[in-house]
């Protein structure tokens, strides 16, 4: 709560009385969300690693594409494992009041996609990860290190 208040105070100083209140609200929302994408990506990768996902990685794709900032890519050993990883990531996000914009592929478990707007999580059944080779497709994207340990949910 203190963080939001300090951001609000700092942002108010940047606006004068001639600007509309809606402008300030949008500016505050943007300031609060800055840096949030990387933290969401790290959280998703850590949850995946904690649930035995294979080769989880974070790619910073914001300079390469215009629809998201980060990809989290990992794979599971079976379709049920893929579904389980996705469910655990979604539960960790919901616990932090982050609701995915969309979830695709959860029923089949071959390739699950969680759309968090600034982060897109791809969870593959391991043979499909090699086939689609997103790492190779987005080879220009910088891979970001993350700690595979995290605080408990």
- Average pLDDT for runs of 10 along the chain of length 153: 40 48 41 66 96 96 92 97 97 94 95 96 96 91 80 47
Neighbours of 141 (CB within 10 A): 20
66 and 93 part of one domain: yes
Q: Is residue 100 part of a domain?
A: yes
153/137 Cα distance (integer angstroms) = 33
29 and 43 part of one domain: no
pLDDT score recorded for residue 125: 97
Report the length, in residues, of the chain. 153
pLDDT score recorded for residue 107: 94
65 and 29 part of one domain: no
The answer to whether the beta carbons of residues 138 and 60 sit under 8 Å apart is no
The answer to whether the beta carbons of residues 118 and 61 sit under 8 Å apart is no
pLDDT score recorded for residue 2: 43
Indicate the angle between helix axes 79-95 and 36-50, nearest 10 degrees.
140
Q: Please tell me whether the overall predicted TM-score, pTM, comes out greater than 0.75 for this model.
A: no
21 and 51 part of one domain: no
27 and 43 part of one domain: no
pLDDT score recorded for residue 146: 82
């Amino acid at each position: 709560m203190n963080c939001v208040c300090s951001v609000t105070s700092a942002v108010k100083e940047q606006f004068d009385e001639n600007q509309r209140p809606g402008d300030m609200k949008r500016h505050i929302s943007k300031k609060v969300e800055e840096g949030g994408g990387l933290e969401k990506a790290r959280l998703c990768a850590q949850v995946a690693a904690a649930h035995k996902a294979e080769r989880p990685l974070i790619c910073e794709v914001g300079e390469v594409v215009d629809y998201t900032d980060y990809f989290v890519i990992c794979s599971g050993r079976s379709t049920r494992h893929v579904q389980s990883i996705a469910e655990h990531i979604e539960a960790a996000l919901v616990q932090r009041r982050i609701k995915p914009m969309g979830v695709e592929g959860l029923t089949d478990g071959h390739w699950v996609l969680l759309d968090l707007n600034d982060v897109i999580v791809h969870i593959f059944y391991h043979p499909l990860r090699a086939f689609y080779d997103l790492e190779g497709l987005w080879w220009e994207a910088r891979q970001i290190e993350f700690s595979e340990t995290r605080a408990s949910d």
